[in-house]
Amino acid sequence: MKNRLAVFLFMLGILLIQETTAQKKKIYNPRANANEQISDAINKARIEKKHVLVMVGGNWCSWCVKFDKFVTGDYAVSEYLDQHYILVHVNYSKENHNYRTLQELGFPQRFGFPVFVVLDEKGQRLHTQNSVYLEKDGGYDEEAVLNFLKHWSNDALNPANYEKDKN
């Protein structure tokens, strides 16, 4: 009886590990063409009048996985992100460093992972954000993430919103 229980718990543990690994692999695709992903996002952003948020990281990165879960689990952040950005996950792993793409983005990996790059609807890099400034108490801070997203949104950079400041 003890042996059966031990085998059952062992098998359950393996299944949980496999499920967690499978879930992580859904976030980043090491085989994806990062330049193509970004190009598609820019085209969509142009049509929808949004910016592109490039999230660089990997399935191996616990903070990358944590951020993805945070974004999908926090209604206010998820809603704002959906309304103002096209999100792209660019893989950085031993399988694919995406060197050319990251070179074009100004080597954002220097800040660690995940790292966020904001592009406008023309594909111009507007900002690179180190994720450490969005963290709080072992997770991500809703207020900090929303402030970051709001300060680099298309609306925030629209000159028409600052016409009154000309005088």
Contact 145, 132 (CB under 8 A): no
* Intra-chain end-to-end CA distance of the chain, in Å: 83
At residue 6, the pLDDT reads: 57
Q: Which residues pair with 115 in a beta bridge?
A: 56, 130
Domain ranges of the chain: 32-158
Query: Which residues, including other chains, have CB under 8 Å from residue 69's CB and lie 6 or more apart?
Result: none
Q: Output the average pLDDT for the chain.
A: 90
Per-residue model confidence as pLDDT tens digits over 122-149? 999 999 999 999 999 999 999 999 999 9
Tokens of 64: 């990358």
Per-residue model confidence as pLDDT tens digits over 3-49? 665 555 666 566 556 555 545 447 999 999 999 999 999 999 999 99
At residue 136, the pLDDT reads: 95
User: Is the domain defined by 32-158 classed in CATH 3.40.50.720?
Assistant: no
Q: What is the pTM of this model?
A: 0.83
In a 3-state reduction of DSSP, which class is residue 146?
A: helix
